[in-house]
Amino acid sequence: MVEISGACTAAWYEPPQKMAKESALPPAFVAGHIALIGRPNVGKSTLLNAIVGEPIAITSPQPQTTRDRIRGICTTKDAQYVFVDTPGIHSARNQLGKRMVHAQEAATRDAEVVGVVIDVGRDRILSLRVEDEALLRAQAAEKPTMCIINKVDQLADKSALLPLLAKLGEIETLVAVVPISARNHDGVDRILAEARKHLPESPPLFDADSLTDKPVRFFVTEFVREQILKQTRQEIPHGVAVAVERFDESKPIVHVDLVVHVPRDSHKKIVIGKGGEMLKRIGTDARARIEAMLQRQVFLRIFVRVTPGWQESDALLSELGFEKPELP
């Protein structure tokens, strides 16, 4: 267990408010959902953060960092875009994996537009992967689909994109191909412009000031999990879950108790570290993000608990907020 407290900084979190009044709408206001899907580590979460202008989705170099649907809301004078970040497409190996796949499929099914995110690849060989082409063709056959090519900032010569663009041009059902750099926020306006063409006329789905529909407790747990992934790197890949046991905002200092579930005692030792130093570092960095979100001082306590097989526990997965797939 570690206890962390300190001073607050600036806030960015605003909980969703009730729907705006339709009478105040401009004549051609549109609103809808755009699902961001693709392989792990192509930059979907970084793109979502760039779109909303705040780091609402956690990121790390490890695949499958995103486990659930995360909605990022971007509102302009004539449109409201609800972008949905999803877990990277993968084959499920346990109950957690099945629920992650369900989250991705549900986001795609419920969206008006799909953005399939690919990247230029570490080897800079700009060819269209077989699995990406299959995904693009399948989605484009169902609903408006754009291909978003991320990480083009890594190319010294942008003309190297031409063969890839030519190959994508063969998929005639795509509504757009948009090269971007999510890290540099380049190309976001083009994504919005292309998505807007396919969104229905509608009142806003959320208040114009909302950035996400997730509750504050979700971000508290995600910020701790993000620091565990970053601080422990490959030592604790995906065997960790974080749950809120206490969240008390009734006093000037917010008191938060969290439990970190790990499957093995060896993982517990890694998360705690020698003399508790690793857990203290994780808590300190996570608390800074929590206080920036709440704009209040936070007293944070983190407990590490060995919970063998938690990835297969329906009860714990439901408690953690993972939606259970519907039976066929």
Distances (CA, A) of 312 to 61, 67, 123, 205, 323: 25, 15, 36, 35, 14
Please identify, among 139, 162, 196, the residue that sits at the C-terminal boundary of a domain.
Answer: 196
Nearest C-alpha neighbor of 99 from the set 305, 328, 326, 324: 324
248 shares its domain with 289: yes
Instruction: Please indicate, yes or no, whether residues 79 and 155 belong to a single structural domain of this protein.
Output: yes
The residues that bridge with 80 in the sheet, in sequence order, are 31, 75
Q: What is the pLDDT of residues 9-48, one digit of tens each?
A: 344 455 555 455 554 555 689 999 999 999 988 999 999 9
Q: What is the pLDDT of residue 92?
A: 62
| Euclidean distance between CA atoms 214 and 89, whole angstroms | 22
Alpha-carbon span 205 to 208, nearest angstrom: 9
259 shares its domain with 297: yes
Indicate whether 87 and 234 sit together in one domain: no
Residue 272: give its domain's CATH number. 3.30.300.20
Which pLDDT tens digit goes with each residue over 257-270? 999 999 899 999 99
Task: Give domain status of residue 201, yes or no.
Answer: no
109/29 same-domain check: yes
What H or E segment, with its residue span, contains residue 6?
Answer: strand 2-6
Same domain, 156 and 220: no
* pLDDT for position 255: 97
Of 148, 165, 196, the position where a domain reaches its end is: 196
Comparing CA positions, the residue from 309, 267, 307, 300 lying closest to residue 1 is 300
Structural domain total, the chain: 2
Question: Are 152 and 226 found together in one domain?
Answer: no
What's the token pair of residue 226?
Answer: 């993000």
Domain of 220? 2-8+214-319
In a domain, 37, yes or no: yes
Q: Is the per-residue pLDDT at 117 higher than 50?
A: yes
Rounded to whole angstroms, the Cα distance separating 59 from 66 reads 8
Query: According to the model, what pLDDT value does residue 250 have?
Result: 95
DSSP letters for 115-156 = EEEEE--TT------HHHHHHHHHHHTTS-EEEEEE-GGG-S
Residue 170 and residue 247 share a domain: no
Q: Which of 35-39, 55-59, 213-217 has the lowest mean pLDDT?
A: 55-59
Q: Are 229 and 127 within one domain?
A: no
CATH number of the domain that residue 148 is part of: 3.40.50.300
Q: Do 36 and 141 belong together in one domain?
A: yes
Residue 240 lies in a domain: yes
Residue 202 within any structural domain of the chain:
no
- Looking at the structure, do residues 250 and 303 belong to the same domain, yes or no? yes
Query: Which residue would you say has higher pLDDT here, 208 or 7?
Result: 208
Residue 154 pLDDT > 60, yes or no? yes
Decide if 311 contacts 96 (C-beta within 8 A): yes
Question: Letter for the amino acid at 65?
Answer: T
- Is residue 261 a part of any domain in this protein? yes
Using DSSP, state whether 307 is helix, strand or coil: coil
- Report, as an integer, the average pLDDT of 220-225: 93
Q: Which residues contact 162 (CB under 8 A, 6 or more apart)?
A: none
Whether 104 and 156 share a structural domain: yes
Residue 176 lies in a domain: yes
Question: pLDDT at position 5, please?
Answer: 47
pLDDT at 271 over 60: yes
pLDDT in tens, 299-320: 999 999 999 988 888 888 877 7
Q: Looking at the domain assignment, is residue 324 inside a domain?
A: no
